[in-house]
């Protein structure tokens, strides 16, 4: 019975309700969203969308599954490390990269972040683990390996407001699962801790980094 409840919670992203609510709030006012490194199961599909979205991913299987499940209005197969060559400046209200920048090197990630800021008209949203989280290839996808780790100070130096997501860092274990048993009890504790650790990003499992884009008007 407990396993069935756990599977239901995971399948329906119930453990991510606060994360999804926060993402929806951050995207308020956006009419178009670019989902960078969208994967095959974008969180955007769980939101009540008031915007159009496009997903881009380098792994063909992700794009095939995402398109099949109608995750986005448009899909593109492409290398996100060359994002500025694929999309024009100011072409989306918001650009998001959720659990993405840790999959490339620090140098590549900073270049990617700058490209996101160039493409976004209003806002860039990043989500990444707090610190380096070791991970190798998953689901026959070599791009799932982690190559960099991030902290709030680094993201703030890049001009981002940083908050915490998914609660207290040390309640999570390998493969991003609850570390302690019974799972339902500690899962509830982890869920409730999100409300506190949103304001204590240094001790949260994930970091939410947001930046409002202000661009100078070009005058003739």
Residue 5 pLDDT: 44
Sequence-distant (6+) residues with CB within 8 A of 147 are: 102, 103, 104, 105, 108
Q: Does residue 45 lie in a domain region?
A: yes
Q: Is the pLDDT of residue 3 over 60?
A: no
Residues 20-24, mean pLDDT to the nearest whole number: 95
Torsion (CA) 140, 14, 113, 80 in degrees, nearest 10: 30
> Bridge-partner residues for 210, per DSSP?
125, 161
pLDDT tens-digit map of 83-136 = 999 999 999 999 999 999 999 999 999 999 999 999 999 999 999 999 998 887
> Bridge-partner residues for 76, per DSSP?
56
For the chain, the domain total comes to 1
CB 52 within 8 A of CB 73: yes
Q: Does residue 201 lie in a domain region?
A: yes
| Alpha carbon distance 184, 5 (integer Å) | 8
| Alpha carbon distance 192, 118 (integer Å) | 36
Q: What's 150's domain CATH number?
A: 3.40.50.150
Residue span of the structural domain in which 149 resides: 2-212
Q: Is the pLDDT of residue 1 over 60?
A: no
Q: Does residue 217 lie in a domain region?
A: no
Q: Kindly state the tokens that stand for 127.
A: 């989500």
CB 40 within 8 A of CB 144: no
Q: Does residue 180 lie in a domain region?
A: yes
Q: Does residue 161 lie in a domain region?
A: yes
pLDDT tens-digit map of 142-178 = 888 899 999 999 999 999 999 999 999 999 887 678 8
Q: Does residue 219 lie in a domain region?
A: no
pLDDT tens-digit map of 52-74 = 999 999 999 999 999 999 999 99
| Alpha carbon distance 13, 21 (integer Å) | 12
Q: Does residue 62 lie in a domain region?
A: yes
CA nearest neighbour of 36 among 100, 90, 94, 85: 100
DSSP annotation string for 76-141: EE--GGGHHHHS-TT-EEEEEEET-GGGS-HHHHHHHHHHHHHHEEEEEEEEEEBB------BTTB
Q: Does residue 50 lie in a domain region?
A: yes
| Alpha carbon distance 115, 110 (integer Å) | 9
CB atoms inside a 10 Å sphere around CB 115: 23
């Amino acid at each position: 019975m407990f396993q069935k409840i756990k599977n239901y919670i995971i399948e329906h992203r119930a453990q991510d309700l606060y994360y999804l609510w926060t993402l929806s709030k951050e995207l308020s006012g956006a009419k178009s969203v670019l989902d960078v490194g969208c994967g095959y199961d974008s969180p955007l599909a769980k939101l009540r969308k008031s915007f159009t979205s496009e997903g881009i991913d380098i792994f063909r299987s992700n794009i095939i599954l995402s398109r099949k499940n109608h995750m986005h209005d448009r899909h593109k197969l492409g290398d996100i490390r060359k994002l500025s060559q694929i999309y024009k400046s100011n072409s989306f209200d918001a650009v998001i990269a959720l659990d993405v920048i840790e999959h490339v090197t620090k140098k590549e990630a900073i270049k990617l972040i700058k490209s996101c800021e160039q493409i976004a008209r209003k806002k860039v949203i990043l989500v990444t683990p707090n610190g380096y989280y070791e991970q190798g290839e998953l689901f026959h996808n070599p791009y799932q390996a982690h190559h960099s780790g991030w902290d709030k100070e680094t993201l703030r130096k890049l001009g981002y407001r940083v908050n915490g997501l998914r609660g207290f860092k040390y309640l999570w274990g390998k493969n991003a699962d609850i570390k302690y048993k019974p799972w339902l009890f500690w899962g509830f504790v982890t869920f409730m801790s999100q409300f506190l650790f949103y304001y204590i990003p240094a001790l949260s499992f994930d970091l939410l980094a947001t930046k409002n884009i202000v661009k100078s008007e070009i005058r003739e």
